[in-house]
Amino acid sequence: MEQRFKSLSLFEFREKFPDADSCLSYLAKLKWGNGFTCKKCGHGNSCRGMSPHSRQCTSCNYTESPTANTLFHKVKFDLLKAFYIVYFVSTNKKEITSTELSRKLSLRQKTCWAFKRKVMKAMKSSGNHPINGDAEVDEAVFGGQEEGVRGRKNKNKKLVAVGIEKKKKGISRLYAKVIPDAGSVSLGGFMKHHIGPSANVKTDLWTGYKPLEKDFENLVRVPSGKKGRNFPEMHRAIMNLKGWLRGVHHHV
Ligand SMILES: [Zn+2]
């Protein structure tokens, strides 16, 4: 989220977030934009909860607020001001002090100090530091001798989404996650978590990536070529991962 704010000017930020309700609506969209899954029972359907923008599971009635399990969980001050802290902390080139934040937002300095620390910690964890340069995404079947068919489920095989960050001629970061299928929702969830919206993303021509062109403005889809010829680093990364896994788990 901090990355998404980086491209906004203060003026645009003000327009996008005029009040706390717009912040809640933004968090709800971020959380459930690709569908709802109940944290308690895994059910996939929800209705409106009692509090604004919350969702209630239609199976077990568990209610989740848009702020639950986010940076804004149990924040005791105005959510809009918390959003401003995230904005100022993530956009200022020079580190903004809690005294400055306190003055700008009419909040207690201690409050600003504590929340700023939380924001900075979140920015440091890799999940919140998405790839913004050159990225490649592919998915591969693990746990079988032969290559599986995309989108088809097999109990012993696992479909794994792999994302790499390329720097010069090597790979600087690699993310991998087991995904339920190769549809655009599963792939998109993985990609949005690890890759920034304006990164140069390269994928093959698999249709699951097509709808994601609207989320990643610089996404290009190219033929993978014979034996992944157009994706040499990715091809090698997947081979290495498979080799490593075979060594660790003999049954894979
Ligand atoms: Zn439920």
CB contact set of 158 (below 8 Å; sequence gap of 6+): 141, 142, 143, 178
- Same domain? 97 vs 73: yes
- Write down the mean pLDDT value for the chain: 86
Distance 213 CA to ligand 1 centre (A): 32
Distance 64 CA to ligand 1 centre (A): 10
Give the end of a domain, one of 92, 109, 128.
128
pLDDT digits (tens, 9 = 90+) for 119-172: 888 777 645 568 888 999 999 888 765 444 555 455 667 889 999 988 876 788
- Please count the CA atoms within 13 angstroms of the CA of 26 that sit on its side-chain side: 18
Beta bridge partners of 135: 165, 201
What's the pLDDT score for residue 249?
52
CATH value at residue 213: 3.30.420.10
Give the end of a domain, one of 128, 154, 174.
128
From CA 252, how far away is CA 243, in angstroms rounded?
10
The Cα angle at residue 131 between residues 1 and 37, in degrees rounded to 5: 50
- Same domain? 114 vs 202: no
pLDDT digits (tens, 9 = 90+) for 194-244: 898 889 999 999 999 999 999 999 999 999 888 778 888 898 888 888 877
Distance 208 CA to ligand 1 centre (A): 28
- Strand, helix or coil at 110? helix
Radius of gyration of the chain (CA): 21
Strand pairing class (46-48; 55-57): antiparallel
What's the pLDDT score for residue 142?
82
Distance 42 CA to ligand 1 centre (A): 6
Distance 146 CA to ligand 1 centre (A): 37
What the block records as the tokens of 176 is 């991998």
ipTM: 0.99
Q: Are the C-beta atoms of residues 73 and 66 closer than 8 Å to each other?
A: no
- Same domain? 62 vs 148: no
pLDDT digits (tens, 9 = 90+) for 170-186: 788 888 888 999 999 99
Number of domains in the chain: 2
Distance 36 CA to ligand 1 centre (A): 10
- Same domain? 144 vs 107: no
- Same domain? 168 vs 73: no
- Same domain? 23 vs 52: yes
Give the end of a domain, one of 99, 128, 157.
128
- Same domain? 138 vs 200: yes
Distance 38 CA to ligand 1 centre (A): 5
Provide the domain limits for residue 139.
Answer: 134-248
Distance 125 CA to ligand 1 centre (A): 29
- Same domain? 82 vs 57: yes
